[in-house]
Chains A and B, each alone.
Chain A
Amino acid sequence: DSGVTQTPKHLITATGQRVTLRCSPRSGDLSVYWYQQSLDQGLQFLIQYYNGEERAKGNILERFSAQQFPDLHSELNLSSLELGDSALYFCASSREYDGSSGNTIYFGEGSWLTVV
């Protein structure tokens, strides 16, 4: 158990809909990351938040957005869903932001999203 909690574990929704994925980081971790894993793309970094502020952006679509709340939990909002958005979405967390060596990130078990 990594200590990172994600809900829901599975979600099926129709095209055009909007969903929200939730993540609680490990206790004490200030950074939260979102990754997408689809069948042919491996693990793709989407976005990072540190202590409530966006820190880095990766391959995140404009239809997707995220935020980190004062209690450090994070939500990933996916809207106008398309079939190709079906994937496993991982949240991860870590303690350090400042780039010191050893900043290992720990992953949750993921949220399976199926768009039909």
Chain B
Amino acid sequence: DQQVKQNSPSLSVQEGRISILNCDYTNSMFDYFLWYKKYPAEGPTFLISISSIKDKNEDGRFTVFLNKSAKHLSLHIVPSQPGDSAVYFCAASGSLNYGGSQGNLIFGKGTKLSVKP
């Protein structure tokens, strides 16, 4: 039972264009969402996050949008660069039923982004 779903295993985008990575979740108790970027043979690197009290958070070329009613979030990268080519993981956490710990993130299976020059 996947609580966080990234339905597109891969995405290919031309350099300079927008990359949009999507993520859906099922657990309404999730209240904090993160995106991680992962290069091969490296650990996931934190990219950007959003709390459920917001619907948008921007950091440079990266913007995360949250639609709570649809239980959907997306990561926009504008403009896309070849160095953005990596696997992007969506993750969620919340005050679940084990002492309110937000740490144990639930991850999607990732979307492999390829940005072509």
Count the A residues whose beta carbon is within 8 Å of the partner chain — how many?
Answer: 33
Q: A22-38: which have CB < 8 Å to B? A: 31, 33, 35
What residues of chain B lie closer than 8 Å to A55, measured between beta carbons? 98-99, 101, 103
What residues of chain A lie closer than 8 Å to B93, measured between beta carbons? 103
Cβ-based interface call for A16 (8 A): no
Give complex CA distance A50, B31 in Å.
Answer: 21
Give complex CA distance A42, B108 in Å.
Answer: 7
What residues of chain A lie closer than 8 Å to B41, measured between beta carbons? 109-110
Encoded as 1 (CB less than 8 Å from any A CB) or 0, chain B from 85 to 117 comes to 000010101010011111111111110000000
Tell me whether B31 and A101 are in contact (CB under 8 A).
yes
CB contacts between A and B, total, < 8 Å: 86
What residues of chain A lie closer than 8 Å to B45, measured between beta carbons? 2, 107
Tell me whether A101 and B51 are in contact (CB under 8 A).
yes
Tell me whether A42 and B110 are in contact (CB under 8 A).
yes
Top-7 shortest CB links A-B: A107-B43, A99-B100, A42-B109, A43-B107, A101-B51, A103-B102, A99-B102
Binding site for B on A (CB under 8 A): 2, 4, 31, 33, 35, 41-45, 48, 50, 55-56, 58, 90, 92, 94, 96-110
